[in-house]
Amino acid sequence: MKKDFISIKDLSISEINEIFALAVKLKKNKAKFSTVLQGKTLCLIFHKPSLRTRVSFEVGIVELGGNAIYLQEDIRVGKREALKDMAKTLSRYVDGIVLRTFEHNNVVELAGQASIPVINGLSDLLHPCQALSDLFTVKEKLGKLKGIKLAYVGDGNNVCHSLLYGASKLGVDIAVATPKGYEPQAGIVNEAKEFAAKSGASIIINNAPQKVAKGADIIYTDVWTSMGQEKEREKRKEIFANFQINKELVNLAKKKVLIMHCLPAHRGEEITDEVMDSDNSIVFDQAENRLHVQKAILIKLLGDKK
């Protein structure tokens, strides 16, 4: 049966742990896996700009022995031809698709119509590859996930949604602080609370960054204005002004608090240079781990099933 990677909520805890364990092996010895996806071709369809997602997937498939094809505005998903026709055509040519798009339904429909695995490279609703890599990074740095307090400060966006799913499944206590009106979607919060009830994690959603930062092991932020929201940037800069990750906020957390940001960063807005470049920052370790975790995902989805 074909498997896709659309949302962390679709993965079992054992599947997540398998991906993490494989990512550790890939990070330690990439040469050992250099032919595991030999002859496989991955198609990247991106409607949004990308540095980390594009490069990590392209480098990842090549390091595993396969090839990548990158399509940007060329095919105009759902406009030049029906999405189902595109899905069925690509299923005859390539072995997997990564879609980075605006409407989440594009990813869902593509996966429903394709006979090959589809990976959500980002939608306006979710960013599962990012959040899974982030949680892998937390485990790598702290040696565990259960009982860790992750404070997310900023916009209740796609990254926040995927972190809620992943943290709640894996037992990470997650506290989210956003301005009023910018909270994560209630439906996703409710689903995360159901996962948390099983894992023992706690979930807090409020509008007070100082409260969520207090005693945190991790402080995480993202841009205040996501792609597609550029017209709102000046308004958002005013609304989010008190949600900046700066030295004062960091001082409320644990002494060895780790600072995370999924990048790209708008330095001087959601995070200061002082914090971004501090010894507490693991921002670029996060970025690196996108490569290793996504290679593990590719092997799990595109590897020969025995």
CATH architecture of 8-127+289-302: 3-Layer(aba) Sandwich (3.40)
Neighbours of 1 (CB within 10 A): 3
Assigned token pair, 78: 């759902």
| Span 25-54, pLDDT tens digits | 999 999 999 999 999 999 999 988 899 999
Contact between 149 and 218 under an 8 Å Cβ cutoff? The reply is: yes
> Residue 243: which of 149, 160, 179 has the closest Cα?
179
Q: How far apart are CA 121 and CA 290, in angstroms?
A: 11
Q: How far apart are CA 236 and CA 254, in angstroms?
A: 29
Instruction: For residue 298, name the pLDDT band (cuts at 50, 70, 90).
Output: very high
Instruction: For residue 229, name the pLDDT band (cuts at 50, 70, 90).
Output: confident
Mean pLDDT of the chain: 95
What does CATH list as the number for 131-286?
A: 3.40.50.1370
Residue 74 CB burial class (10 angstroms; 0-12, 13-18, ≥19): exposed
Contact between 186 and 210 under an 8 Å Cβ cutoff? The reply is: no
Residue by residue, DSSP assigns 148-177 as: -EEEEES---HHHHHHHHHHHHHT-EEEEE
Strands lying side by side in the sheet with 149-153 = 203-206, 173-177, 149-153, 218-221, 258-261
Contact between 192 and 163 under an 8 Å Cβ cutoff? The reply is: no
pLDDT of the residue at 80 = 74
Contact between 175 and 149 under an 8 Å Cβ cutoff? The reply is: yes
pLDDT of the residue at 233 = 79
Q: How far apart are CA 143 and CA 154, in angstroms?
A: 26
Q: How far apart are CA 179 and CA 160, in angstroms?
A: 14
Contact between 245 and 219 under an 8 Å Cβ cutoff? The reply is: yes
Contact between 129 and 16 under an 8 Å Cβ cutoff? The reply is: no
Position 248 pLDDT exceeds 60: yes
Position 306 pLDDT exceeds 70: no
Neighbours of 277 (CB within 10 A): 13
| Span 272-290, pLDDT tens digits | 999 999 999 999 999 999 9
For residue 218, the cross-strand partners are 150, 258
Question: What residue spans of the chain are helical by DSSP H?
Answer: 13-28, 52-63, 83-93, 104-113, 128-142, 158-170, 186-199, 209-213, 233-239, 247-250, 273-276, 283-302
pLDDT of the residue at 1 = 59
Catalytic residue numbers, as ranges: 100, 127, 130, 222, 262, 290
Per-residue CA distances from 186 to 63, 149, 199, 229 (Å): 40, 21, 20, 21
| Span 68-110, pLDDT tens digits | 999 876 666 667 788 899 999 999 999 999 999 999 999 999 9
Instruction: For residue 173, name the pLDDT band (cuts at 50, 70, 90).
Output: very high
Assigned token pair, 112: 């429903």
- Give percent of the chain with pLDDT exceeding 90: 90
Q: What are the residue boundaries of the structural domains of the chain, listed by start?
A: 8-127+289-302, 131-286
Assigned token pair, 4: 């896709």
pLDDT of the residue at 120 = 98
Do the domains 131-286 and 8-127+289-302 match in fold? yes
215 φ, ψ (degrees, to nearest 5): 75, 15
